Amino acid sequence: MSLARFRYLVVEGPIGAGKTSLTHKLAERLGADTLLENAGDNPFLPRFYQEPKRYALPTQLHFLFDRSRQLRDLAQGDLFRAGTVSDFLIDKDMLFARMNLDDDEFELYQKVYADLALQAPTPDLVIYLQAPVDALQERVRRRGVDYERSMDADYLQRLANTYSEFFHRYEAAPLLIVNTTNLNFADSEADLELLLERMSKMRGPREFFNRAA
């Protein structure tokens, strides 16, 4: 598959959907650079999972500043030299903020967001990964990140619902919605080939990829 159509790809989805693994796979296959959210570099994230109300705001602000810096560097750099595959869409920061912050904190967050005046490039394609909550929970458990062990099914369900509502209305870029229930891009080259083929056939602004069991 050629990168002629897709110079800037974004893979998105809730925690455990497999977006970072797929980002690496696509970048490797397409000879592209990666742009990663680096959640492990956020010093507030482990504390957020222990005390969500107390650490939600610093967690969100850290992510916002880090992602906006990366996107600014991307916009100023030679985006079209090798292509880029990213595992985050800056719009998703607002989703987490609205879900986790109280009203006063969210108002402050919105002001900071507006002051950053983000000039994020528009993706050529967004791949939105979906999975049932029990599958998300199992994948989170398998990757064994200590501070994620306290994440419960209710939080993952709210997160999955928030993503679903967001992408139901999303029109900023072409969107491929992928049901990953019967797909394993991390371990199956055949599944990755199916996705690449499906991407190459994208014609409309919103399409679906759902592999039957």
pLDDT tens sequence across 19-45: 999 999 999 988 889 999 888 889 999
Categorize the per-residue pLDDT at 161 as very low, low, confident or very high, splitting at 50, 70 and 90.
very high
Categorize the per-residue pLDDT at 213 as very low, low, confident or very high, splitting at 50, 70 and 90.
low
Q: Is the pTM of the predicted complex or chain greater than 0.95?
A: no
Residue 3 has pLDDT above 70, yes or no: no
pLDDT for the residue numbered 107: 96
pLDDT for the residue numbered 178: 97
pLDDT for the residue numbered 163: 94
pLDDT for the residue numbered 54: 95
Categorize the per-residue pLDDT at 153 as very low, low, confident or very high, splitting at 50, 70 and 90.
confident
Mean pLDDT of 195-210: 91
Top pLDDT among 145 and 187 is at 187
Residue 145 has pLDDT above 80, yes or no: no
pLDDT for the residue numbered 139: 84
Q: Rounded mean pLDDT of the chain?
A: 88
Look up tokens 């912050």; give the residue.
101
pLDDT for the residue numbered 24: 95
Domains of the chain: 8-210 (3.40.50.300)
Per-residue pLDDT of 50-105, as tens digits, reads 899 999 999 999 999 998 888 887 777 665 567 899 999 988 888 899 999 999 99
Residue 1 has pLDDT above 60, yes or no: no
Best CA proximity match to 29, nearest among 199, 200, 196, 202: 196
Neighbour tally for 212: CB within 10 Å: 6
Top pLDDT among 114 and 22 is at 22
DSSP-H helix ranges across the chain: 19-30, 45-50, 52-76, 79-82, 92-100, 103-116, 133-143, 153-169, 189-200
Classify strands 84-86 and 125-130 as parallel, antiparallel or unpaired.
unpaired
| Phi, psi for 198 (deg, rounded to 5) | -65, -40
pLDDT for the residue numbered 171: 93
Q: Which bin fits 18, alpha (ψ -120 to 50), beta or left (φ > 0)?
A: left
Categorize the per-residue pLDDT at 2 as very low, low, confident or very high, splitting at 50, 70 and 90.
low
